[in-house]
Amino acid sequence: MRGLGTTLVALLLLWAASAEDLRALVAEMLPRVGKVMHLPVPSRVDVKVISRDEARAALLEVLRRDYPGDTLERLSEALAAVGLVAAGTDLRAEAQALYGGNVSGFYDPHRRRLYLLSDQPLAAQTLIVAHELAHAVQDEAVRLDAASRKVRASEDAQLAFSAAIEGQAQQVASLVLAGEAGDAAGDGLDLGSLLSEAAAASAAMAGGQSSVPWLGLQLSFPYAAGGRLVAAIRTADDPAATSLLRRLPRSTAQVLDPALYRADERPREARLDLAAKLPGSAAAMATTLGAANLDLFGELHGGGELGQGWRGDRLETVRRGTQLCAAWAVAFASPDGASRLVKAWSTAVGGGTGAEAAQPDGSRYVIRQSGSVAVLLENVPADHIGEIVAAASAAFR
């Protein structure tokens, strides 16, 4: 009989949960999530139980909303210009394949709705429900959709925002499953840490499935780096690091270095106005890439952790006829950081610090350093290089 009982239990664990069971789990778990976060919970959470194909379609709708029109195509061109993705990369197709292939339950702050899968057993969805309900409580506190829109102009700020939100939700879910943080200073917090680390490792594995490392970073960084930030700032009185919601990190540099977060080190902001400086050009893309993307460049091309000492950057691309021109200026705390980046850039493009570095596709790179600012230029006419480098240096003072 013991063998039969064990088999029956196993079958129950594998049996897909009903919509009623899932809604009951949400209702039971929501107050527990609010208790761990020390925050009021929504009066009602809209739950929709859907198929895997419907979930995939809903996720792709979120992707289109976050990157409307041809934004992803222009971003792909800009990232290729500075060596963060391969030339010709179709970010939209790659993102659809990656996110569509890693379908799970998720909370959509735009619709304020929790989507859960109809083909998963209840036990498998417990951690997912706790994590996504943490997002619902976060949404009640900071209005995630509006907060996300505020940082949309900066890839760096978007990634930092995601790290805070995902890292904190990951910690909340872990503490709920570990016992509502009842013994936050002891076993509960230790088990929560183990669960949080396991979730980060799972995200890293999913990110590793992408053939585009930049996309892998978007998937893994929020959980891995966000989890480390939460671990650094949580306290016995605030084991879920809910304080993070009262002051979100401004940059991936703050996520990577909690000392910068605690000091509220503000990134330096600048505009290069590349379109105005290159007659006959039209603006294509403008963003900030940040320390995490510099570290990724170091992984891809050598140079180590190039984001150390980052204090701000600006990437702008313009189109002159059929040619794309780019300028990426990066400010550091000291000239040493700029020198490391200049060396890494020069190695990647085969020169550029003196004469132009011509590439097989016909593009031309020039690399300059002005004090603590490193500047990478692609296809910028020689008679405008000095002006743009000077403007970049002045912009970050």
Residue 332: predicted pLDDT? 98
pLDDT, residue 235, reads: 96
pLDDT of residue 12: 39
d(CA 260, CA 196): 23
The pLDDT mean for the chain works out to 90
- Greatest distance between any 2 Cα atoms in the chain: 86
- Quick check: 5 pLDDT over 50? no
Query: By the 8 A CB rule, do 184 and 236 touch?
Result: yes
Lowest mean pLDDT among 56-65, 314-323, 365-374: 56-65
Prediction pTM value: 0.91
Q: How far is CA 348 from the centre of its chain?
A: 25
> For 203-237, how does the pLDDT look when each residue is reduced to its tens digit (9 = 90+)?
555 445 568 999 999 999 999 999 999 999 999 99
Pick the closest to residue 303 from 353, 337, 335, 350 (CA basis): 337
Residues 280 and 282: their CA atoms lie apart, in Å, by: 7
Q: How far apart are CA 302 and CA 349, in angstroms?
A: 12
For the cut 80, the answer to whether the pLDDT of residue 9 exceeds it is: no
Q: What are phi and psi of 334, to 5 degrees?
A: -150, 160
Task: Report pLDDT digits (tens) over 195-208.
Answer: 555 555 555 554 45
Rg of the chain over CA atoms, in angstroms?
A: 23
Q: How far apart are CA 326 and CA 345, in angstroms?
A: 14
CA dihedral 130, 132, 134, 138 (to 10 degrees): -170
Tell me the pLDDT band of 41, cut-offs 50, 70 and 90.
very high
Amino acid at 262: R
Report whether pLDDT(10) > 50: no
- Tokens 């893309």 belong to which residue? 285
User: Measured between alpha carbons, how far is 168 from 329 in angstroms, rounded to an integer?
Assistant: 32
Print burial letters for 336-358: b (CB count within 10 Å at least 16), e (below 16).
ebbebbbbbbbebbeebeeebbe
Question: Residue 296 pLDDT more than 90?
Answer: yes
On the question of pLDDT at 377 being above 80, the answer is yes
Question: What are the pLDDT digits (tens) for 311-356?
Answer: 999 999 999 999 999 999 999 999 999 999 999 999 999 999 999 9
Least confident of 48-52, 129-133, 185-189: 185-189
Q: What confidence score (pLDDT) does residue 194 get?
A: 53
pLDDT attached to residue 189: 52
Instruction: Please tell me the distance from the alpha carbon of residue 144 to that of residue 348, in angstroms, as a whole number.
Output: 38
Q: Looking at per-residue confidence, does 207 or 253 come out higher?
A: 253
d(C-alpha 198, C-alpha 208), whole Å: 15
Check residue 86 and give its pLDDT: 95
Q: What is the pLDDT of residue 102?
A: 78
**Stronger pLDDT, 308 or 2, i.e. the higher one:** 308
Angstrom CA distances, 167 to 55, 88, 146, 197, 232, stand at 23, 33, 19, 10, 11
Q: Are 320 and 313 in contact (CB under 8 A)?
A: no
- Residue 300 pLDDT level (bands cut at 50, 70, 90): very high
* For residues 368-397, average pLDDT: 95
DSSP state of 41: P
In this prediction, residue 101 has a pLDDT band, given cuts at 50, 70 and 90, of confident
